Structure 1
Amino acid sequence: MSTKHMVRRFCAFVPSTARGTSGQGGTNCYDTCVSTNKYLGDGLVSRTPLVLVHGNPETAAIWGPLIGELDRADAVVLSPPGFGVPAPRGFDSSTTTYRDWLASQLELFRAPVDLVGHDWGGIHVAALAMSRPDLIRSWASDALGVFAPDYLWHPRAQVWQQEGPGEASVQELWGGDLQQRLAVTSALGMTGRMAERVAAGMDPEMGRAVLRLLRSARQPTMAEAGRLLPSAAQRPGLALIAVDDFERASGTLVQHEWAARRSGARMAHLEGVGHWWPEETPAPVAEALTNFWAELPDPERAPATDSRA
């Protein structure tokens, strides 16, 4: 695949809110992302590529405010198949399949990336850090708590993990019209533009992906995956701990802290930050990420290496 084609492929995932907003009407996707060439050209980089992975029930549109706070219009947003983009034929939407999908996307870069994940995206990021550290310079996740041995899935997830009740729940949540889906996102705690953007992206395919994903993650699957957390310490990590995520869908504070220690990750306790921070409270997260990256080694002229070699 040519560099130009790879750039176009990545650009498909960049939210419109991250593109230019000048009086000239902004820039189109290709113009915004063409700088990705420096990541994909000869394997030498002048700036570490930033890759963002979202979760459930989200689409790439949630990242616009964070990208703006970071002033990183060159950021690459990857949408897990089924979540805002179609899933390939035969894609089984399991935890390991998403991990391998993410690795396949990062292999298209010729330099290690700074990888950030939210919600299920954070789980995919941590799984990648445990298995393919050669693809990343650093990683950051807000969902490490799910790898704790005593983690219990939140009530909605437990319903989705059941045959029958799960299908009924998905039909209720994902099967309605836009106004009904807006009511769902509001009930999940989203407000304003985020609720609207997420509701617009919810569709039956996403609901089916949710069922397959959550059923592949029934305990003890996540607890067993957590045994590999020390492997993630091969690259610098940051645990983004949203202190005001009161539903604790991704784990309690104690579980987040336990997993962070096991993975060697630094901890950012984010006061006043809730679960839907990518749009609602991006500034403190952007500050934590910026401070974290500032302490990492200079990536200049640092080609990627494959730890499997």
Structure 2
Amino acid sequence: MTAVFVHGVPETSHLWNRLRTCLSTDSVALRLPGFGASRPDGFESTMDEYVQWVEGELHKLDGPIDLVGHDWGGLLVARVATRSTVALRSWAMDVAGILHPDYAWHDIAQLWQTPGSGEAWATSTLEASDPGSALSAAGQLIAAGVPEDDARSMGEDFDLTMASSILALYRSATPNPFAHWGTELTSPTTAPGLVIHPTLDPFDDAASPAVASTLGARFEPLEGLGHWWMLEEPRTAAVALEKFWADLDS
């Protein structure tokens, strides 16, 4: 069994390091193109291109695969699970409410989706080189709830390539992911799924249980944790995942 982790935005695969050390299974953390990694020629950083890229990486691995995603990585994981082009043993995601048909993007996402405003944000963030500045990538991550040391480390990976990838990804997902993937998000997946719901996550919403039910997934609240649950309490997160995986064999 191999656990495969997919990070979100604006992050890199380092997001999972602390959690992975708490696991008793082999694991791999993918690094999405444009997020601390180069983009293939012609890669335009759209939601569908990222799904296809993840599927391509999974086809290189020996199974069985337990696929886990956070933030945009979670949305990609759900899409991979519904497409059934990769044989998964299981899948897990957070922010499932974003896949609801009525979901409205949060304020910063709407800024990124707005031509001109998104570019202005990218420029001001890149120009704020002092990590102590509230305008810097690290400062914005701290304001969003990332632990300070992690935020400073993550902020070091923010560059023009990541900024342009973020804008392109979010602009490919208007008005919301369901508008693009909805016909494939209305029935249970073949592989068992787990929807993780940190109860203090401001980027998820009350629709998360409904999405879990639609996809036939188990719903697992993480009480008192926020959007970056894998950084806040990695051992708690590892226990939740390993219990889910163990139950698959019982």
Shorter-chain TM-score tier: over 0.9
How far is 1:295 from its partner? 1.1
Report the aligned-residue RMSD. 1.7
Q: How does 1:172-191 map to 2 (within 5 A)?
A: 172-179=124-131, 180-191=136-147
**Aligned equivalent of 1:293:** 245
The answer on 1:97 being equivalent to 2:49 is yes
**Aligned equivalent of 1:213:** 169
**Aligned equivalent of 1:125:** 77
**Aligned equivalent of 1:57:** 10
Q: How does 1:155-234 map to 2 (within 5 A)?
A: 155-179=107-131, 180-231=136-187, 233-234=189-190
**Aligned equivalent of 1:283:** 235
Pick aligned residue for 1:87 from 35, 39, 58: 39
Pick aligned residue for 1:68 from 17, 21, 44: 21
Relative to structure 1, the CA distance from residue 134 to residue 182 in structure 2 (aligned partners, 3 Å threshold; closer, same or farther) is: closer
Deviates more, 1:217-226 or 1:132-141: 217-226
Question: How many residue pairs end up in the alignment?
Answer: 246
How far is 1:133 from its partner? 5.5
Identity across aligned pairs (percent)?
A: 38
- Provide the rounded CA distance (Å) in 1 between the counterparts of 2:24 and 2:149: 20
Question: Letter of the aligned partner of 2:4 in structure 1?
Answer: V
Relative to structure 1, the CA distance from residue 196 to residue 154 in structure 2 (aligned partners, 3 Å threshold; closer, same or farther) is: same
The answer on 1:262 being equivalent to 2:218 is no
SS at match of 2:156: helix
SS at match of 2:115: coil
SS at match of 1:210: helix
Bigger-Rg structure (1/2): 1
Which structure 2 residue ranges, 5 or more long, are not aligned?
none
Question: Letter of the aligned partner of 2:114 in structure 1?
Answer: Q
Question: Letter of the aligned partner of 1:52 in structure 2?
Answer: F
Relative to structure 1, the CA distance from residue 176 to residue 87 in structure 2 (aligned partners, 3 Å threshold; closer, same or farther) is: farther
SS at match of 2:189: helix
SS at match of 2:197: strand
Deviates more, 1:223-232 or 1:265-274: 223-232
Contact 1:147 1:223 in 2 (8 A): no
How far is 1:81 from its partner? 0.4
- Provide the rounded CA distance (Å) in 2 between the counterparts of 1:232 and 1:85: 33
Question: Letter of the aligned partner of 2:198 in structure 1?
Answer: A
Question: Letter of the aligned partner of 2:183 in structure 1?
Answer: R
Question: Letter of the aligned partner of 2:13 in structure 1?
Answer: A
Q: Please, what TM-score do these two structures have when normalized by structure 2?
A: 0.92
- Provide the rounded CA distance (Å) in 2 between the counterparts of 1:281 and 1:220: 30
Q: Which runs of 4+ in 1 moved over 3 A?
A: none
Q: Please, what TM-score do these two structures have when normalized by structure 1?
A: 0.76
